[in-house]
Amino acid sequence: VYILGIESSCDDTSAAVFKDETILSNRVANQDVHKDFGGVVPELASRAHQQNIIPVVDKALKESGVKACDIAAVAFTRGPGLMGSLLVGTSFAKGFALAHDIPLVDVNHLHAHVLAHFIKEPDQDNKHPEFPFLCLLVSGGNSQIVLVKDYMNMEVIGQTIDDAAGEAFDKCAKVMGLPYPGGPWVDKLAKEGDPHAFQFAKPKIKNYDYSFSGLKTSFLYFLRDRIKEDPNFIEAHKKDLCASLQHTIVEILLNKLEKAADDLNISQVALAGGVSANSGLRIGLEKLAVRKNWITFIPKFAYTTDNAAMVAISGYYKYRAGDFVNHDAAPFSRVVF
């Protein structure tokens, strides 16, 4: 069957067409309008989605070679995300489903990030994790350790009690005067810096939970004190600051992941979400995997940040299970399903 996936939870408008588990097309329109604001402006995001959604869907359909009338179901991101953004994708999906008289499938954005691991590329050797596996989901809005028992059965066993890992990257990057989003910039500069140049406070927190707001504060105060002595401190030490910050975040993330894998006796470990693009995290995980004898899975870059391919594959599994929603389904800004 052909499935159309729609993603509009934050600032990327995306549409994808799948044939069962195989990707035929995945189009993403990014939004430049937020660049000058140092973060996503919700009102501007919804307006841009409204402009982008039709062209993006048209392009995805064209590229796939599938006619709109041959789509069997439309899957959309119902939440979590920005309400105004979610409404655009949700309304589009409802209109499309109504026009073509096909079922509507709602998708949890966080499940979708995890299920990105099952996207099949045509004519490729597609390896994917076996259930149960652990997935470290690290993005701009979330940091979670997810125990994945089945396509639709996931248990969040640990999560951040304040900021997400991506937020920690972005906020600290902002303090150093780097453009938004700062994560990729920190990654780039960290490659030439010394990860042990500076030490920042690591949180002491129970179970498999995370906390990143303390790190952000410790980073800020550290810089404030140093700048008093040397106004040029950030410029002079940017690479070392980035490397040390990244090293600290990666250590925090991997320590809890290791603890969870040990306790649950699980050796298949996956990364998901935008921060899984981070080279320090990827290298750190691979090193840990050798020591722990883990089999690891890291999605293709295009499937780590927000995209509709992960929504379409999630939609496919729900379609297969006959799990549809009515047209009165409203989006959720926070996780409630």
Applying CB under 5 A, the residues found at the interface with Fe ion are: 139, 306
Q: Minimum CB separation from ligand ATP for residue 98, in Å?
A: 27
193 is in an annotated binding site: no
Sign of CA pseudo-dihedral 324, 326, 331, 337 = negative
DSSP secondary structure of 99-153: HHT--EEEEEHHHHHHHGGGPBPTTS----PPSSEEEEEE-SS-EEEEEEEETTE
Residue list 199-228, contact with ligand ATP (CB under 6 A): none
Residue 95 CB partners (closer than 8 Å, separation 6+)? none
311 binds ligand ATP per the rule CB under 6 A: no
The answer to whether the peptide bond before residue 331 is cis (omega within 30 degrees of 0) is: no
Tell me which stretch binds ligand ATP (CB under 6 A): 137-145, 197-205, 251-259, 311-319.
137-145
Tell me which stretch binds ligand ATP (CB under 6 A): 17-25, 251-259, 269-277, 312-320.
269-277
Token readout for 149 is 């028992």
| Percentage helix, strand, coil for the chain under 3-state DSSP, each rounded to 5 | 50, 20, 30
Q: Minimum CB separation from ligand ATP for residue 2, in Å?
A: 26
113 is in an annotated binding site: yes
140 is in an annotated binding site: yes
Nearer to ligand ATP, 140 or 331 (CB): 140
Provide the 8-state DSSP code for 335: -
Residue 320 CB partners (closer than 8 Å, separation 6+)? none
What angle (nearest 5°) sits at the alpha carbon of residue 251, between those of residues 250 and 257?
90
183 binds ligand ATP per the rule CB under 6 A: yes
**Residue 169 interacts with which of Fe ion, ligand ATP, none, CB < 5 to 8 Å by class:** ligand ATP
Tell me which stretch binds ligand ATP (CB under 6 A): 16-24, 135-143, 155-163, 285-293.
135-143
Give helix 165-175 / helix 213-229 axis angle, nearest 10°.
10
Tell me which stretch binds ligand ATP (CB under 6 A): 145-153, 252-260, 273-281, 324-332.
273-281
181 binds ligand ATP per the rule CB under 6 A: yes
253 binds ligand ATP per the rule CB under 6 A: no
187 is in an annotated binding site: yes
129 binds ligand ATP per the rule CB under 6 A: no
Distance in angstroms between the alpha carbons of the first and the last residue of the chain: 26
Nearest to 143 by CA among 266, 274, 246, 251: 274
Contact footprint for ligand ATP (CB under 6 A): 9-10, 81, 109, 113, 139-142, 166, 169-170, 181-184, 187, 273-275, 277-278, 305-306
Known binding-site residue numbers for substrate:
137-141, 170, 183, 187, 278
